[in-house]
Structure 1
Amino acid sequence: MKNTKLLLTVLIAGSLLTACHTNNVSKDTALPEKNPTVKSDSTPKSEKNSSMKDVTKENSRLEEMNLLAKQSKSTEEIYVTGDVVVGENGDVKPGIYDLEITGGSGNIFGNRKDPFSLFINWVAGAPGTSTDYPSKIRIILFEGDTLDFSNISKIKFNAVPEKVEMSNEAGIGEYVVGRDIKAGTYKLSTNVKLDPEFDNLGWSIDIYNNSTKKKKEQTLNSGNQDVVVKLEDGDIISTSLYNSDPDLPSDNARLIFTEYK
């Protein structure tokens, strides 16, 4: 009988110790889950990589243009006696310039070292000439480009500053998205009176992407006034104008970009 009571006491004590141990673990120790949940980025890896590459391309295009602007160096007046060569040892250094015509009037042609780049093709003339041509053209010049002038006798290259204030207006020539105008979607308009009798005369716009080598062409004239364009950082916008407005000098003509949603 005594042995039976002793065994029963031992069993009860053991049960109490086990219960106390279990309570201590549940209160003070975090037990591992059987199937722990691992948090992950929901964006597919391929999409992340693609997005990063696109941002890098945009940045590199814009950085290339900013570095090019840094190389710009104004020239004195140059007599045009032949092709004007762009290069460290040429007539003008690579860069971004306001090309000023100081003598004669005629055509500006040229060849790009990169054959897939934008064409060089404008008409211009010195102030005071009989025909209203622009006397200043914004132009982006790369190493190895050449310029060919017809009936233009004197020119000058005025370096555009490394840092410029963005605007929603552009004149005649070449402008950089992210530098001269911020990226976005825009509806086009102009301060030029578009003559309805000549519905094909007005602005011609090329939007060039140096990375993809793709070019988009657009016009703004009396026959095509409802125009929207999309611009990305690093794009180059090239504009030219056939001005039929007798009251507005071509040097004062502006292509206007209004944000469109």
Structure 2
Amino acid sequence: MTANSSVLITGASTGIGAIYAERFARRGHDLVLVARDKARLEILAARLREENSVAVDVLQADLTQPNDLAAVETRLRDDSRIGILINNAGIPQSGRFLEQTAEGIDRLIALNTTALTRLASAIAPRLAQAGEGAIVNIGSVVGLAPELGMSIYGATKAFVLFLSQGLHLELSPKGIYVQAVLPAATRTELWERAGIDINTLPAVMEVGELVDAALVGFDRRELVTIPPLHVAERWDTLDAARQGLLSEVRQGHAAERYRTTS
């Protein structure tokens, strides 16, 4: 299915999502592009149709809105041509934790975690029945780094990594490939929306380079792809340390250091 299937991409009007659309169109995949900005989607779709002779459908949706999210879920459940989901839509955190509003927190969590999870849930049963397909979840290295101070955004991206690892364990035996992509700073409009001048950052990856690297990981069937990580063994060491820690968790009694009278 993944060789000839359609690809549904969220957050496809600009940035990482738009480049994913370009790259999959070049590979000959038909596309379903999802975003709030219909005008941008239509312009991108027209160009990709002309340049690559692929079918491109546009689905305008704000994934924080229940009706819009439900419409995309229905498309994923019912359209048997879609074999790849790129869960890319997301928003950044603007300001520190104490500066957040209740509405802003709700929107951030709704888009970065709830929508992503529900879309994966919508397509997974059909892919499992087919015995093939792929779900790509765009996370962030911020999910590994609370020191960066983006507490809510980082927490949502830690969720994306955990979810992807869990889905891999559950779905890979059914033929479904799950990939978590963890970018670092990438040149997209998200920074401007968060009120951050991207030119003040010490190093920023171009979005085309990011997506091309992520697709190398996709083709290699990596579970976790971190494009800016130069020493791959560091991730392996981190994951091995995590598993080693779990092997030391003996649940029957508190650890000795907690059983002291001093």
Where on the TM-score scale, by shorter chain, does this alignment land: which range?
Answer: under 0.3
> Higher strand fraction: Structure 1 or Structure 2?
1
> Higher helix fraction: Structure 1 or Structure 2?
2
Q: TM-score, normalised by structure 2?
A: 0.24
Q: Which has the higher contact order (CA 8 A, sep 6+)?
A: 1
